[in-house]
């Protein structure tokens, strides 16, 4: 089946784009897992305009999906496994369910592909002490001990975002060694972050809240919060396959102010374009990409 636009990703950026495109009566398809976005796992989002009391990531996701569907957006909850140039012109996308779709335009809004790590009780304590976004949830751990799990620069950035809030921070590598650049390592040490090599095997809790983390050596770390920052950057694999320009230093897709990539017809929005990893940024970028495509399609029809 062919559409005018295929949106890869069903987080804030993808759903924002879907709302604009659907309201413009342009045929489109959203492919992605709304439950897989970092925003959907936030305990409470308090810095998004219009929600002075805050809103949980779960409710924000549900309301966003409902709004997109209200205007006629089609959301296919499957995983994108391939995207390439179509022999019919434009692009094709394949999913893990062996479905194939074609479109004239693509919007990559795949985020950082954050997925549960498989640590025991991780999913059970989401919103009860387990988080995937230090900027979203750091405020709730003011003067409280926290643990961050991850061994790369993404984990270091998330950890440093917590410094102004947490009373004590322990960064667990979840691997044999850390792979953090010297600049970030120095900042971690300057802020008295404890670095522990080892693998987290279980999130401990009392059923209502997180109380600690169990490591593979049998030791336990007492904590009120556990932030996972393992940095799965699968979205970049698709970008590289399409030949998109990537900033290898920041591991992000390069776009201009119109959210255009270096390949005509392909746009990118949200976390996959780099920091800041904020819901407001993702929503805005999704809107910009959608509006640019709407203008292109209408101008193209006017010229006929």
Residue pLDDT, tens place only, 250-270 = 889 999 999 999 999 999 999
Local confidence band at 302 (pLDDT 50, 70, 90 cut-offs): low
**pLDDT category, 158, cuts 50, 70, 90?**
confident
Determine the pLDDT at residue 132: 80
| Residue 232 pLDDT | 42
In the predicted structure, residue 303 carries a pLDDT above the cut 90: no
CA diameter of the chain: 70
Tens-digit pLDDT profile for residues 82-131: 788 998 889 999 887 889 999 999 999 988 766 677 899 998 998 899 98
Exposure string of 205-231, with b = 16+ CB inside 10 Å and e = fewer, is beeeebbbbbbeeeeebebbbbbbbbb
Is pTM, for the whole model, over 0.95? no
Residues 6+ apart with CB under 8 A from 249: none
Higher-scoring residue by pLDDT: 168, 57: 168
- 3-state DSSP of the chain: CEEEEEEECCCHHHHHHHHHHHHCCCCEEEECCHHHCCHHHCCCECCCCCCCCCECHHHHHHHHHHHHHHCCCCEECCCEEEEEECCCCCEEEEECCCCEEEEEEEEECCCCCCCCCCCECCHHHECCCEECCHHHHHHHHCCCEEEEECCCHHHHHHHHHHCCCCCEEEEECCECCCCCCHHHHHHHHHCCCEEECECEEEEEECCCCEEEEEECCCCEEECCEEEECCCCCCHHHHHHHHCCCEECCCCEECCCCCCECCCCCEEECCHHHCCCCCHHHHHHHHHHHHHHHHHHHHHHHHCC
Residue 115's pLDDT is what? 63
**pLDDT surpassing 90 at residue 205:** yes
Q: Which pLDDT value is given to residue 233?
A: 38
Residue ranges of domains in the chain, CATH in brackets: 2-114+232-302 (3.50.50.60), 123-228 (3.50.50.60)
For range 52-77, the mean pLDDT = 93
Average pLDDT, the chain: 90
């Amino acid at each position: 089946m062919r559409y005018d636009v295929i949106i890869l990703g069903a987080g804030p950026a993808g759903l924002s784009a879907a709302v604009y495109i659907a309201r413009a009566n342009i045929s489109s398809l959203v492919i992605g897992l709304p439950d897989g976005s970092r925003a959907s796992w936030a305990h409470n989002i308090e810095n998004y305009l219009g929600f002075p009391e805050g809103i949980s990531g779960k409710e924000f996701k549900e309301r966003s999906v409902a709004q997109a569907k209200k205007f006629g957006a089609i959301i296919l909850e499957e995983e994108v496994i391939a995207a390439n140039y179509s022999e019919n012109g434009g692009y094709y996308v394949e999913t893990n369910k062996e479905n194939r779709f074609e479109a004239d335009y693509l919007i990559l809004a795949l985020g950082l592909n954050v997925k549960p790590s498989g640590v025991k009780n991780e999913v059970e304590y989401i919103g009860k002490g387990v988080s995937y976004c230090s900027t979203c949830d750091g405020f709730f751990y003011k003067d409280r001990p926290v643990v961050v799990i991850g061994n790369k620069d993404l984990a270091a950035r998330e950890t440093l975002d917590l410094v102004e809030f947490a009373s004590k921070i322990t960064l667990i590598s979840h691997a044999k060694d850390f792979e953090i650049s010297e600049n970030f390592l120095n900042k971690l040490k300057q802020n008295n972050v404890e670095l522990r090599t080892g693998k987290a095997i279980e999130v401990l809790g009392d059923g209502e809240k997180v109380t600690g983390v169990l490591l593979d050596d049998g030791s336990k770390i007492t904590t009120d919060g556990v932030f996972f920052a393992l940095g799965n950057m699968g979205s970049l694999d698709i970008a590289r396959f399409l030949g998109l320009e990537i900033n290898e230093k920041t591991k992000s897709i390069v776009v201009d102010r119109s959210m255009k990539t270096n390949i005509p017809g392909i746009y990118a929005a949200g976390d996959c374009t780099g920091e800041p990893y904020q819901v407001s940024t993702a929503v805005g970028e999704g809107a910009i990409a959608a509006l640019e495509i709407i203008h292109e399609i209408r101008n193209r029809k006017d010229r006929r």
